[in-house]
Amino acid sequence: MMSSNRLSHHHIGAREGSGSIHLPRLFNDDIDYVYYDPDTDCINEARSSLDQAGKYATVYPFCISNKNNTDKFNIMVEPYLSSIFQLSQEFKNFYYISRYKYLAKLDNVMSVDHEIVTEFRSLDQICFSDALARPPHCLTIDAQGATWEVLKGAEKCLREETLCVIAETEMHPLYEGQKTFSEVKSYLESLGFFFCCFDGFMKFGAQSVPTGLRSTNLDIVTNALFLKKPEATKNSGQDKPAIFARLQKLAFYAIIMNQTEIAMDCFARLKKTPQTNLPADVPHYIKFIIEFSKAADKLDQPQLPIFDIQDITKSAGSAVPAARTRSIFRKFIRPLIDKNRRLHHFYIHSRPLIDKLRHLWRAAGLAPTAVEDVLEQYELYEQAGWLRNRRAVAYFK
């Protein structure tokens, strides 16, 4: 398939036009958005929300799966939980705090309200056989237990074009017959991806208990980030300009998802690959990664020392450096806190917030690097703040 400088984003689950990746508006001109939802009642609402967000997207009324036919789809009492599957009986008495801030029992909100008959299609069918859309470079999935089915029907897309996958996955089989995170991870790894991180968990409780007895609950549903391995961007039959374009796109997604080490790997490979002539109308994301790469090359920042067990072994018989003197806080103030029940309770529960505020304060006192300046120039403030906070932790910890 011919390489294009434009990006293609596909999102499964288009209700209200929501999605798992958020970019500044200036990048929207570089991206072809394609959304899917089997519930035709929400298609117009999704289109309206996407237009307001500056995303000029195509929305298809398909249920994305690993088959191509017409079949039934379950609309749940809570429409956002609609799925091709039904709730597992093992979890029918579990509950979660709903978006309306009340306890929602699963067998109530996830019971089937009604069934619809809709068209099932695979992404490979849509992108290659029907040619309704270009294969996704970034694929985000909110399919309520059907992530594995979506990915299985997109094998060619994932093998040849897709570079970033953000998928809602379940750690336990919340739905009858579904595949869980471990199976999704194994499948994507077989196609050249690696798992990067989770992005928060949806908490579920095993039963409803008084407020004073509620725990942190169980981690069951989360979004999982997968990126293509840089060495796996080279496909058989692709020319060098196509490989160069894929590395550029992967570097962009790695930076957006706070995986800068992967982006640096891509930049190192880009320097070894003959550069293609830039088009007259250079997309914003290409301008961004070029500027980011130049700023990164000029960055003069210390690295944390690397642990070497041999150095420890050599110094075992020598004099051991004096231990750090205990701070005044630890010597005098902490014992007083521990003696007072209320002060001790306040200190223990406020300490994470105090540590976070301390890091933010230290980060605010650091002059921005050239890399952080580039990120803020392109309105990527979260990514710039993340790098600045990491510097603060490294310098002051």
224 and 338 together in one domain? no
Q: Does pLDDT of 272 surpass 70?
A: yes
Cα(151)–Cα(158) distance, integer angstroms: 8
Structure token pair of residue 187: 């499948």
**Looking at residue 2, what is its pLDDT?**
41
Q: Which domain holds residue 343?
A: 330-396
Q: Does 351 lie in the same domain as 221?
A: no
- Give the pLDDT score at 152: 97
Higher-confidence residue of 266 and 216: namely 266
Selected residue with higher pLDDT from 240 and 119 = 119
263 in a structural domain: no
| pLDDT beyond 50 at 12 | yes
Is 272 within the bounds of a domain? no
Residues 199 and 65 in one domain: yes
CB 230 within 8 A of CB 207: no
pLDDT at res. 394 = 63
Domain assignment present for 306: no
Average pLDDT, the chain: 85
Asked which of 194, 228, 262 is the last residue of a domain, the reply is 228
Q: Is 168 exposed, middle or buried (0-12, 13-18, 19+ CB in 10 A)?
A: buried
| 293 falls within a domain | no
Given this model, what pLDDT does residue 203 score? Answer: 85
Q: N- to C-terminal Cα distance for the chain?
A: 49
> What is the rounded CA–CA span in Å between residue 223 and residue 199?
5
Could you tell me where the beta strands, DSSP code E, fall in the chain? 7-12, 31-36, 58-60, 62-64, 69-76, 95-97, 103-105, 112-121, 138-141, 164-170, 193-204, 218-228
Beta bridge partners of 168: 223
Concatenated DSSP letters for 156-191? Answer: HHHHHT--EEEEEEESS--BTT---HHHHHHHHHTT
**Of 228, 259, 282, at which residue does a domain stop?**
228
Percent of the chain, pLDDT > 90?
Answer: 54
Asked whether residue 287 is assigned to any structural domain, the reply reads: no
Q: Identify whether 148 is part of a domain.
A: yes
Residue-wise pLDDT for 23-59, tens only, equals: 999 999 899 999 999 998 888 888 888 887 778 889 9
Domain-located, residue 291: no
State the total domains in the chain: 2
Does residue 343 carry a pLDDT above 80?
no
303-327: b (≥16 Cβ within 10 Å) or e: eeeeeeeeeeeeeeeeeeeeeeeee
Residue 349 maps to a domain: yes
Task: Please list the residues that pair with 121 across neighbouring strands.
Answer: 64
- The answer to whether 239 and 274 are in contact (CB under 8 A) is no
pLDDT at 229: 96
pLDDT band at 362 (very low <50, low <70, confident <90, very high): low
Note the pLDDT tens digit of each residue in 190-214: 999 999 999 988 888 888 777 777 7
Render pLDDT for 281-329 as a digit per residue (tens, 0 to 9).
889 999 999 999 999 998 876 676 776 666 655 555 554 444 444 566 6
Predicted local distance difference test score (pLDDT) of residue 365: 67
Read off the CATH number of the domain in which 158 is found.
Answer: 3.40.50.150
Residue that finishes a domain, picked among 166, 198, 228: 228
- Mean pLDDT, residues 162-179: 95
Encoding tokens for residue 63?
Answer: 């249920």
